[in-house]
Amino acid sequence: MQYGYFPEIVQVVPYPDYTVDVYFSDGKIISYDITPFLDKGVFRALQNRDIFMNRCKIMNDTLAWDVQGDGDPSTCIDIDPETLYACPPVSDRLEVS
């Protein structure tokens, strides 16, 4: 991580393979694979593909899922932004060739 840089997430894009592309304010893009966690604790809710795909958003300034659908940031499932920023960068899947 860059000294003094707090990773600000500006966009998240979920994919049906249980990965999410996360876009940071400095231009870095990572792909986060949630599959290793799908059978663990609160992450089990994300096995429901509808929840995974349609409730994925930025909450608490990071990648999150509004599992209950009520917009309450205290009940979402979220991933620490520094954990996300530590992932290796990937190419932008949204770029049109």
CB atoms within 10 A of CB 48: 13
What span, in angstroms and rounded, lies between the C-alpha atoms of 79 and 91?
21
Reported as type and span, the H/E element at residue 20 is strand 19-24
By 3-state DSSP, what share of the chain in percent is helix, strand and coil, each rounded to 5? 25, 30, 45
Q: What is the DSSP letter of 90?
A: -
Per-residue pLDDT 10s for the chain (97 aa) are 456 667 799 999 999 999 999 999 999 999 999 999 999 999 999 999 999 999 999 999 999 999 999 999 999 999 999 999 999 999 998 885 5
pTM of the complete model: 0.90
CB half-sphere exposure, 53, CA atoms < 13 A: 6
Contact 3, 78 (CB under 8 A): no
